[in-house]
């Protein structure tokens, strides 16, 4: 029997063991001062394929334990030097893996010893005399559960560090008493320990005051309507503001305890990086123009608002610089880059508000023109091309660029922006191969009838002002913090004798082209000021937003005109906010800055309109004296499901906050959009949720009866 057992305290290499006894690699330590027992144990266990090492007293056992890290220890109770209990206690202390099975060999019916064994840290016990069949089963079982225990502990540790890294904690909200229970990681997420937020009220106290009503409303929704909870909110703890994301779901705990289980995560840093990444992802870094993605999004937006019944069209244009590589060779790479930047700048100056622009390739640009007819659109394109063909001055060089241009037309060629853009690109390639400047994708039948209609509309516009066909409507703007109407935007309408009420996107470009915009713009200014003054006189404290068209803004006597209108109407300048568009403000930054400064000096407010889709470099924005940023509707529309739009809005609000500007989101149509918008830190909203543009009298009724949408969902406290 002795001969086929490994030598005491030595571990035979696997190859030297007979095939039947192949060690499993698991080392067992047997500790017993009784040599026959030890030998028997060793015999039985090594036949099972274990590698057995032995010690005859506690001290020896501890040395082997530290040296070999056995997978399991069998430990006799009665031993000289150090008895089994003391050895067990010390082994547990040494046990790095925390959970190595320690099985004690006790006398049968020695209940005290069994008790003692467990309190010393033993995993299990086996009574003497040993039942050998049972022994191997017990050993295997202990090894397996030890292994499982280690895995559970390891994955728990992994989970803990994952939570720590992700700044994630778990929580439970008991609806019966509003008590909150948190996992240990709460401190890392909120900067406070769980006892400090044991009740819902204590959590709400940490929430930023501006977010509190919204948070309460959403919690109520979850409580009353079982709606899953998902929100981002600002919390202030330890003198720091953090943005945390709270998610949860209704569940049941125990007999009839309704609870909400959830997670909370600190997303401050995440959102900051996302915002930056996303801005970069939507803009070309050389020219700062929108890229293809943003262009397509903008096109989809414009396409959805196209008035098809009236024959309105959208031109999607692909513009390619002819033989750009030649210029690059001549100017060097830096010179080529400069040329592209200059071209982008010029293009920017040429697009009007409703046109979009993007750099879609190295020397390729895309352009969107919305027009009443194809002919009118092509006219606009031609006038843009005329400007683009003018020379560029680069240091010592003068460069003239030529282009090949492809055009796709919606709705004739479809309404999918991506398809249209590809079609335009195909047309451009064809144009280049045929040495033609501009090619419309598919020859279209001459739309003579539409053209004459445009002419008729244009003629009618000339007389619209004197016939008193223009009127203003006002769209309310609500401050989120107070839930009150604090301002309106004045929007122009044209009551055409036969066409009915024409929306401004259809006639403002025409007014601009016809040179009528200044006259009409002045009328808008006067009418809006008269209305603002009327509201003042009845004690209504409303800020009135007035849109300035690009042409109007560039007029040399704009400042004098405004001053005069203010004097004549007697309106308080502080109640007026002029809305200008990014592209417009960027045209001539230096004089724009001067003009805006003068307007603000007499008390007017300035808002940047349609912010986010445009082209402004942030640096410009920092230099512009403005009061308000109006976030374009495009971003609000998808806010509830498009992460990219969310991060842009957050980036804009962050910029606004840093610069002390007020931020208004346009086009808020639903409560859900409103919740998201509010969470992102926006101050005011404008949109159908609050009210459509309406007559002044109607607006007064709205204000008198106004209840914040969704207010009925808020908690009473
Ligand atoms: P804008 O300055 O961006 O005005 C906001 C537009 O969004 C308005 O369209 C408004 O009716 C619409 N809108 C507001 N809330 C919502 C919403 O929740 N959902 C949707 N789908 N749309 C919403 P409107 O009145 O057709 O004006 C279009 C544009 O015409 C204005 O865009 C502005 O650029 C220009 N405009 C309007 N009035 C004037 C004016 O008096 N002078 C000048 N120069 N431009 C004006
Ligand atoms: Ca506006
Ligand atoms: Ca706008």
What single string gives the DSSP state of each residue in 8-30? TT----GGGS-GGG---S-EEEE
64 shares its domain with 185: no
| Nearest-angstrom CA–CA distance, 245 and 158 | 22
Q: ∠ CA 75-76-78 to the nearest 5 degrees?
A: 145
Closest residue CA from atom 15 of ligand 1: 687
CA of 556 to the centre of ligand 1 (A): 25
In the beta sheet, which residues pair with residue 478?
485, 685
Q: Which atom, in ligand 1's list, is nearest to the CA of 524?
A: 41
231 shares its domain with 307: no
Residue 340 pLDDT grade (very low, low, confident, very high; cuts 50, 70, 90): very high
CA of 249 to the centre of ligand 2 (A): 40
328 shares its domain with 416: yes
Closest CA to 546 of 620, 490, 609: 490
CA of 491 to the centre of ligand 1 (A): 6
Which range has the top average pLDDT, 34-43, 417-426, 562-571?
Answer: 562-571
Q: Which is more confidently placed, 625 or 454?
A: 625
Q: Which is more confidently placed, 15 or 338?
A: 338
Closest residue CA from atom 10 of ligand 1: 693
Across 565-589, average pLDDT: 87
CA–CA distances in Å: residue 295 to residues 289, 349, 365, 586, 610:
9, 17, 10, 19, 15
Q: Which two tokens stand for residue 608?
A: 């940047």
CA of 632 to the centre of ligand 3 (A): 6
Half-sphere exposure of residue 661: CA atoms within 13 angstroms, side-chain side? 26
Residue holding tokens 């010690």?
A: 55
542 shares its domain with 676: yes
- The ligand that comes nearest to the alpha carbon of residue 545 is 2
Q: Domain count of the chain?
A: 4
Please state which of the ranges 413-422, 425-434, 642-651, 675-684 shows the lowest mean pLDDT. 642-651
Burial of 393 (0-12, 13-18, 19+ CB in 10 A): exposed
Query: Quick check: helix, strand or coil at residue 560?
Result: helix
Beta strand 543-547 with 576-581 is: parallel
Residue 80 pLDDT grade (very low, low, confident, very high; cuts 50, 70, 90): confident
Residue 271: inside a domain, yes or no?
no
CA of 609 to the centre of ligand 3 (A): 5
CA of 532 to the centre of ligand 1 (A): 19
Dihedral of CA atoms 61, 67, 69, 70 in degrees, nearest 10, equals -50
Q: Which is more confidently placed, 281 or 426?
A: 426
Domain CATH code at residue 152: 3.40.50.2300
- The ligand that comes nearest to the alpha carbon of residue 494 is 1
Q: Which two tokens stand for residue 383?
A: 């006038």
52 within 8 A of 42, measured Cβ to Cβ: yes
Residue 474: inside a domain, yes or no?
no
Q: Which is more confidently placed, 622 or 262?
A: 262
Q: ∠ CA 232-237-239 to the nearest 5 degrees?
A: 125
Residue 75: inside a domain, yes or no?
yes
Q: Which is more confidently placed, 393 or 541?
A: 541
Query: For the segment 593-605, what is each residue's pLDDT rounded down to a tens digit?
Result: 899 999 999 999 9
Half-sphere exposure of residue 352: CA atoms within 13 angstroms, side-chain side? 22
Q: Which two tokens stand for residue 283?
A: 């803009």
Best mutation site among 301, 554, 666, 689 for ligand 1, i.e. most ligand atoms within 8 A of its Cβ?
A: 666
CA of 346 to the centre of ligand 3 (A): 23
pLDDT computed for residue 526 by the predictor: 97
CA of 217 to the centre of ligand 3 (A): 29
Residue 689 pLDDT grade (very low, low, confident, very high; cuts 50, 70, 90): very high
642 shares its domain with 672: yes
CA of 667 to the centre of ligand 1 (A): 9
Closest residue CA from atom 46 of ligand 1: 547
Stated as kind and residue range, the H or E segment containing 55 is: strand 51-55
Q: Tell me which DSSP letter residue 227 carries.
A: P
180 shares its domain with 304: no
Which of the listed residues 131, 161, 191 is the one where a domain comes to its end? 161
What is the length of the chain? 717
Domain CATH code at residue 214: 3.30.450.20
Residue 230: inside a domain, yes or no?
yes
Query: For the segment 86-109, what is each residue's pLDDT rounded down to a tens digit?
Result: 999 999 898 866 688 999 988 767
- The ligand that comes nearest to the alpha carbon of residue 354 is 1
Residues with Cβ within 6 A of ligand 1?
353, 475, 491-492, 503-505, 508, 521, 524, 547-549, 609-610, 633, 666-669, 686-688, 693
Sheet holding 240-253: strands in order across? 179-182, 168-174, 257-266, 240-253, 229-237
172 within 8 A of 250, measured Cβ to Cβ: no
Best mutation site among 302, 491, 630, 692 for ligand 1, i.e. most ligand atoms within 8 A of its Cβ?
A: 491
pLDDT computed for residue 440 by the predictor: 72
212 shares its domain with 248: yes
8: pLDDT strictly greater than 70: no
Best mutation site among 513, 547, 548 for ligand 1, i.e. most ligand atoms within 8 A of its Cβ?
A: 547
295 shares its domain with 422: yes
Query: For the segment 202-254, what is each residue's pLDDT rounded down to a tens digit?
Result: 999 999 988 888 888 888 888 888 778 888 889 988 788 888 888 888 887 77
Closest residue CA from atom 25 of ligand 1: 491
Q: Which two tokens stand for residue 308?
A: 């098809």
pLDDT computed for residue 415 by the predictor: 84
Residue 338: inside a domain, yes or no?
yes
72 Cβ contact list (under 8 Å, min separation 6): 26, 28, 29, 100, 101, 102, 103, 139, 142, 143, 146
Is the peptide bond prior to 119 cis by the omega test (within 30 degrees of 0)? no
| Nearest-angstrom CA–CA distance, 410 and 301 | 13
| Nearest-angstrom CA–CA distance, 367 and 492 | 26
296 Cβ contact list (under 8 Å, min separation 6): 417, 418, 421
Q: Which is more confidently placed, 449 or 659?
A: 659
Backbone angles phi, psi at 2, to 5 degrees: -60, -40
Closest residue CA from atom 33 of ligand 1: 547
Which of the listed residues 114, 132, 161 is the one where a domain comes to its end? 161
- The neighbour count for residue 219, using CB atoms within 10 Å, is 23
Is the peptide bond prior to 129 cis by the omega test (within 30 degrees of 0)? yes
Domain CATH code at residue 347: 3.30.70.270
Strands (E), 644-711: 662-666, 684-686
CA of 610 to the centre of ligand 1 (A): 10
Q: Which atom, in ligand 1's list, is nearest to the CA of 581?
A: 34
Domain with 292, as residue range(s), is 276-440
379: pLDDT strictly greater than 50: yes
Closest residue CA from atom 17 of ligand 1: 667
Across 147-166, average pLDDT: 76
Query: For the segment 484-533, what is each residue's pLDDT rounded down to a tens digit?
Result: 999 999 999 999 888 788 888 778 877 877 788 889 999 999 999 999 99
Closest residue CA from atom 45 of ligand 1: 547
Q: What average pLDDT does the chain have? A: 84
Query: For the segment 401-415, what is each residue's pLDDT rounded down to a tens digit?
Result: 989 899 999 888 888
CA of 450 to the centre of ligand 2 (A): 29
CA–CA distances in Å: residue 200 to residues 172, 230, 260:
11, 16, 12
112 shares its domain with 25: yes
CA of 407 to the centre of ligand 3 (A): 27
Q: Which two tokens stand for residue 676?
A: 């998201």
Which of the listed residues 236, 266, 296 is the one where a domain comes to its end? 266
422 shares its domain with 534: no
Residue 473: inside a domain, yes or no?
no
Best mutation site among 504, 580, 640 for ligand 1, i.e. most ligand atoms within 8 A of its Cβ?
A: 504
11: pLDDT strictly greater than 60: no
494 shares its domain with 635: yes
| Nearest-angstrom CA–CA distance, 491 and 546 | 8
382 shares its domain with 236: no
Q: Which atom, in ligand 1's list, is nearest to the CA of 689?
A: 18
| Nearest-angstrom CA–CA distance, 236 and 192 | 10
Closest residue CA from atom 11 of ligand 1: 693
Residue 620: inside a domain, yes or no?
yes
């Amino acid at each position: 029997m002795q001969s086929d057992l490994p030598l005491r305290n030595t571990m035979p290499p696997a190859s030297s063991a007979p095939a039947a006894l192949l060690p499993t690699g698991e080392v067992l330590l047997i500790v017993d001062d009784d040599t026959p027992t030890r030998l028997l144990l060793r015999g039985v266990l090594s036949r099972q394929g274990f590698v057995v090492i032995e010690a005859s007293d506690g001290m020896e056992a501890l040395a082997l334990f530290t040296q070999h890290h056995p997978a399991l220890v069998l430990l006799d109770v009665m031993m000289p030097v150090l008895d089994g209990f003391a050895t067990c206690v010390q082994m547990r202390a040494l046990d790095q893996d925390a959970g190595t099975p320690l099985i004690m060999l006790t006398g049968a019916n020695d209940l005290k010893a069994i008790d003692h064994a467990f309190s010393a840290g033993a995993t299990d016990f086996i009574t003497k005399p040993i039942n050998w069949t049972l022994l191997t089963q017990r050993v295997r079982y202990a090894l397996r559960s030890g292994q499982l225990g280690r895995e559970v502990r390891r994955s728990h540790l992994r989970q803990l560090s994952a939570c720590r890294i992700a700044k994630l904690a778990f929580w439970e909200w008991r609806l019966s008493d509003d008590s909150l229970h948190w996992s240990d990681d709460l401190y890392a997420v909120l900067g406070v320990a769980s006892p400090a937020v044991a009740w819902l009220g204590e959590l709400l106290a940490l929430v930023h005051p501006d977010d509190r009503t919204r948070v309460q409303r959403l919690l109520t929704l979850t409580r009353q309507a079982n709606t899953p909870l998902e929100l981002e909110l600002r919390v202030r703890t330890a003198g720091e503001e953090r943005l945390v994301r709270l998610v949860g779901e209704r569940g049941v705990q125990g007999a009839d305890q309704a609870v909400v289980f959830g997670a909370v995560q600190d997303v401050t840093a995440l959102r900051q990086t996302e915002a930056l990444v996303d801005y970069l992802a939507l803009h070309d870094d050389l020219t700062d123009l929108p890229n293809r993605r943003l262009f397509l999004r903008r096109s989809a937006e414009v396409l959805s608002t196209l008035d098809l019944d009236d024959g309105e069209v959208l031109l999607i244009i692909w513009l390619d610089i002819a033989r750009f590589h030649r210029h690059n060779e001549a100017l060097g790479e830096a010179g080529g880059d400069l040329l592209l930047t200059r071209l982008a700048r010029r293009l920017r100056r040429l697009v009007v508000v409703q046109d979009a622009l993007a750099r879609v390739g190295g020397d390729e640009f895309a352009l969107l023109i919305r027009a009443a007819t194809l002919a009118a659109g092509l006219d606009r394109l031609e006038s843009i091309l005329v400007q683009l063909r003018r020379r560029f001055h680069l240091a010592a060089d003068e460069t003239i660029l030529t282009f090949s241009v492809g055009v796709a037309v919606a709705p004739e060629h479809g309404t999918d922006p991506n398809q249209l853009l590809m079609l335009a690109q195909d047309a451009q390639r064809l144009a280049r191969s045929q040495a033609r400047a501009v090619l419309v994708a598919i020859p279209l039948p001459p739309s003579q009838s539409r053209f004459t209609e445009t002419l008729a509309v244009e003629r009618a516009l000339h007389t619209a002002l004197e016939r008193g066909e223009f009127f203003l409507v006002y769209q309310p703007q609500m401050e989120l913090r107070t839930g009150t109407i604090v301002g309106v935007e004045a929007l122009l309408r044209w009551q055409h004798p036969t066409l009915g009420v024409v929306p401004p996107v259809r006639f403002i470009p025409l007014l601009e082209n016809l040179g009528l915009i200044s006259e009409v713009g002045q009328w808008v200014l006067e009418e809006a000021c008269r209305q603002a003054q009327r509201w003042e006189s009845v004690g209504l404290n409303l800020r009135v937003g007035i849109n300035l068209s690009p042409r109007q803004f560039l007029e040399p006597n704009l400042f004098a005109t405004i001053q005069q209108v203010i004097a004549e109407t007697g309106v308080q300048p502080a109640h007026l906010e002029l809305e200008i568009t990014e592209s417009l403000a960027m045209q001539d930054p230096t004089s724009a800055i001067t003009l805006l400064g003068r307007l603000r000096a007499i008390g007017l407010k300035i808002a940047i309109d349609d912010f986010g889709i445009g082209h402004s470099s942030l640096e410009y924005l920092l230099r512009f004296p403005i009061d308000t940023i109006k976030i374009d509707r495009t971003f609000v529309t998808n806010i509830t499901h498009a992460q990219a739009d969310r991060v842009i809005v957050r980036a804009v609000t962050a910029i606004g906050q840093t610069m002390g500007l007020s931020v208004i989101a346009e086009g808020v149509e639903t409560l859900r959009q409103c919740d998201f918008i509010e969470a992102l830190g926006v101050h005011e909203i404008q949109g159908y949720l609050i009210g459509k543009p309406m007559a002044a009298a109607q607006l007064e009724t709205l204000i008198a009866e106004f209840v914040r949408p969704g207010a009925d969902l808020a908690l009473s406290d």
